[in-house]
Structure 1
Amino acid sequence: MRFLTQQKIVLASGNRGKVAEFQALLRDCNIVPQSELGVVECEETGASFVENAILKARNAALQSGLPALADDSGLVVDVLDGAPGVISARYAGVGATDQDNINKLLRALGGVKDNQRTARFVCVLVYMRHADDPCPIIAQASWEGCIVDTALGENGFGYDSVFWVAEQQCTAAQLSPEIKNTLSHRRQALTMLITLLKNNRI
């Protein structure tokens, strides 16, 4: 399939953690982060993960002239009505660090019982052949878990250190990158996207 072996594809992300994960997940592909091509990030004005992923893919394809793969992902906490959601990366404000966002999340969950802390990581992937592609390929997946009070683990990024993975009995940040990449929302969405690309003969 050309998507996997021949095309150069711009990855519409400047997040170093995401770039590292995609390069590990797509090690046989010619994936180039948009930062290496001088692509200026677009403003994420969408109200949903899907809208933001489309905005980012179109922006990267337009500026690079290449097919683009965009990810929009975040943490959805049920008791907080889906927050942090699409503003997960800037939950505590523009320029917030991962720790700032975690601190705000834990404050918001203060007093909430363990069995009410259900959450999931959501990932939407969008592949656009070019900036004017009328039929982008879209895949969406989620990774179920819950939020713990104490950050554990040194791996991962974002909210990984407070996201409890029940089947592994640890947080996402305590998983090795290899194990995380078999379980994560990003892996699930990517597997789905590749199937869709094959079906569309990309």
Structure 2
Amino acid sequence: MSAPRLVLASHNQGKLVELRDLLRGQVPGLDVDTQVVDAGAVGGPDVLEDGVTFAENALKKAHAVAEATGLAAIADDSGLSVEVLGGAPGIFSARWAGRHGDDRANLELLLAQLGDVKDEHRQAAFVCAAALVVPGEGASESVELGMMRGTLLREPRGDGGFGYDPILQPEGLSVSVAELTREEKNAISHRGRAFRALLPAVVEALRV
């Protein structure tokens, strides 16, 4: 097994799959399936996300994992921004219902809160900040933002994705994010856009 070269500062397997898909074939000699790993594979620390912006949280996670492992680290912080809620849940998206990572509870609470909001006022967007931190000699950091705008549905649709994917219908489409294929989602998603914007810095950091 090849030694890891890039660490995703997350234990979310869905995000790891997306990152590997985006990097596949981009860096000569990089085996994304063995050399791009999550924090758990290399003993990366759990990081308290106490920043007040997506970018602050992403940078904090990337710095902590890069320092702990000595490897280039990439992190993202993302969430759902709902216009009628003034941008909430925002950075609290993953724990909107009170317990971190309870996707079903978060989704059900948000739908209940928006139950009386008319269809024409249900605009929302997924927002992502992606950060890369390269430790050691020539240390550097980079941050990029990505967004996917859409409208919130009144009930979940689709079995793909995770988080709030089943209730966001992207602009110009008639399906939810959870009804898209993995390739379709990566092409338009907030995370895909942020990671693609960060890709030149990642490729440069991993260039042999």
**Shared fold per TM-score greater than 0.5:** yes
TM-score, normalised to structure 2's length? 0.87
Amino acid at match of 2:68: Q
Superposition deviation, residue 39 in structure 1: 1.2
2:37 pairs with 1:13:
no
Amino acid at match of 2:8: L
Counterpart contact for 1:10–1:67, Cα < 8 Å: yes
Among residues 82, 87, 107, which one is paired with 1:82 in the alignment?
87
Q: Tell me, in whole angstroms, the C-alpha distance in 2 between the residues paired with 1:161 and 1:117.
A: 15
Distance 1:112 1:133, change over 3 A: farther
Root-mean-square deviation (Å): 2.3
Superposition deviation, residue 171 in structure 1: 0.1
Amino acid at match of 1:103: E
TM-score, normalised to structure 1's length? 0.89
Q: Tell me, in whole angstroms, the C-alpha distance in 2 between the residues paired with 1:112 and 1:154.
A: 25
Q: Tell me, in whole angstroms, the C-alpha distance in 1 between the residues paired with 2:131 and 2:73.
A: 8
2:41 pairs with 1:36:
yes
Q: Tell me, in whole angstroms, the C-alpha distance in 2 between the residues paired with 1:94 and 1:158.
A: 13
Counterpart contact for 2:126–2:190, Cα < 8 Å: yes
- Deviating above 6 A after TM superposition, structure 1's stretches of 4 or more consecutive aligned residues are 131-134, 198-202
Match runs of 1:52-201 below 5 Å: 52-130=57-135, 135-195=140-200
Percent of aligned pairs sharing the same letter? 38
2:16 pairs with 1:26:
no
Question: Could you list the runs of 5+ residues in structure 2 that have no partner in the other structure?
Answer: 26-31
Partner-residue secondary structure (3-state), 2:117: coil
Q: Tell me, in whole angstroms, the C-alpha distance in 2 between the residues paired with 1:133 and 1:71.
A: 22
